[in-house]
Amino acid sequence: MPRSVRDPLQRARGASSRQVRRSRRSWLRTICLVAITLTIASPYWISLAKSQTKGAMHGPLDAERSFKYLTEICNIGNRSSGSAGMEKQLKLITEHFSKFNCQVKLQPFDAPHPLNGQPVRMNNIIISWHPQAMDRVMLCAHYDTRPYPDREASPSAQRGLFVGANDGASGVALFMELAHHLEKIKPTFGVDFVLFDGEELVFSPQDRYFLGSEHFARRYRDEPPKYRYRYGVLVDMIADKQLAIYYEKNSMSYAPELAKSIWGTAQRLRVTEFIPRTKHEIQDDHLALNDVAGIPTIDIIDFDYPHWHTRKDIPANCSGESIAKVGHVLLEWLKEVP
């Protein structure tokens, strides 16, 4: 039999082997093409997914930048009224807002130190957007920190370092981030950011709180400016990782419709951390603004923060996402203030 001749079974086996090899080469080419396509396309899809997630969660606000501002503030250390840390923070804040199209003014005043009675120079900071508007809305926060972490268990720890990441820095970081957006929107009123000094220069229970807001409220009442504040919104402790913001009882007594309008904006934006139920009754800077100045003001505060007034109130226990969510709600609310 000639060597070139094969029987039918051999020919079938040879054909099958060639088909398998061709099939394998086809699969390899397909796999390579898919891998190349994914390599080229994946950055786009990853970027798109991130942008969509970010947009859904935070709107235009930048959570990473918000957290960066909070960390930058806390890196100063303690920032209690009259301290070197407060001087550094005051410089940081004024330099930051000087980069934007707004007016920055200090409202200086003196208050006696609780331990020795010596005068302590304090400064409220007023940052005005669209200053020509005679009808205005105030967003406010305190920017000083408590001298010590008084809620620590041991007496020695109660004299440790307190940097006030949530209780102090979170409101400042929010306003620093909002500065990137105020020029881009058309609010229904002029907007002021007001940062209060002396909210808690407190060493014992009998010491006075809210020195900055009380001074501001008296000045507004006794030396009324040409403009008037339609509403006030106080923010305090808004960077908790497990953010949960309820209606505050005093706020619902003073300005219930204002609170409902902001929580309504949050519901429309699906920011579920704003919970439309009343929970805590808080003594805070909004009391003087209501009682003394007559400005309807509410308090946006998460008072369930587990690290309140302890050494653990640090950036690691805070969230830029929480700051951005609160900012998203306020930014949208400013466009439609009733």
What is the token pair recorded at 76? 């100063």
Identify whether residues 54 and 68 lie together within a single domain: no
Identify whether residues 134 and 278 lie together within a single domain: yes
Identify whether residues 51 and 81 lie together within a single domain: no
| Residue that has been written with the tokens 């920011």 in this structure | 271
Closest by Cα among 113, 319, 144, 126 to 227: 126
Amino acid at 319: S
What is the pTM (predicted TM-score) of this model?
A: 0.83
Identify whether residues 28 and 169 lie together within a single domain: no
Q: Given 58, 83, 101, which residue is the final one in a domain?
A: 58
What is the token pair recorded at 199? 């909210």
Q: Given 34, 58, 82, which residue is the final one in a domain?
A: 58
Q: Domain of 258?
A: 61-334
Q: For residue 157, give the DSSP letter.
A: G
Number of domains in the chain: 2
Q: Walk along the chain (338 residues) and give the pLDDT tens digit of each residue.
A: 333 333 333 333 344 444 434 444 544 454 344 343 333 333 333 333 333 334 334 579 999 999 999 999 999 999 999 999 999 999 999 999 999 999 999 999 999 999 999 999 999 999 999 999 999 999 999 999 999 999 999 999 999 999 999 999 999 999 999 999 998 999 999 999 999 999 999 999 999 999 999 999 999 999 999 999 999 999 999 999 999 999 999 999 999 999 999 999 999 999 999 999 999 999 999 999 999 999 999 999 999 999 999 999 999 999 999 999 999 999 999 999 98
Closest by Cα among 203, 179, 229 to 331: 179
Residues sharing a CB contact under 8 Å with residue 113, sequence separation 6 or more, in sequence order: 82, 119, 120, 201
Identify whether residues 46 and 186 lie together within a single domain: no
Identify whether residues 3 and 103 lie together within a single domain: no
For every residue of 71-82, DSSP letters joined together read: HHHHTT----TT
Identify whether residues 200 and 103 lie together within a single domain: yes
Query: What per-residue confidence (pLDDT) applies to 338?
Result: 84
Q: Given 58, 78, 99, which residue is the final one in a domain?
A: 58
For every residue of 217-257, DSSP letters joined together read: HHHHHHS--SSEEEEEEEEES--BTT--EEEPHHHHHH-HH
Contact 208, 120 (CB under 8 A): no
Task: Please compute Rg for the chain using Cα positions.
Answer: 29
Query: What per-residue confidence (pLDDT) applies to 59?
Result: 78
* CA 91, 97, 103, 107 torsion-angle sign: negative
Identify whether residues 178 and 231 lie together within a single domain: yes
Closest by Cα among 325, 149, 160 to 238: 325
Identify whether residues 204 and 249 lie together within a single domain: yes
Identify whether residues 7 and 70 lie together within a single domain: no
* Alpha helix ranges (H) inside 59-178: 63-74, 84-97, 170-178
> Could you tell me the CATH number of the domain that includes residue 65?
3.40.630.10
Identify whether residues 186 and 93 lie together within a single domain: yes
Identify whether residues 145 and 261 lie together within a single domain: yes
Residues sharing a CB contact under 8 Å with residue 291, sequence separation 6 or more, in sequence order: 217
For every residue of 184-222, DSSP letters joined together read: GS--SSEEEEEEES-S---SSTTSPP-HHHHHHHHHHHH
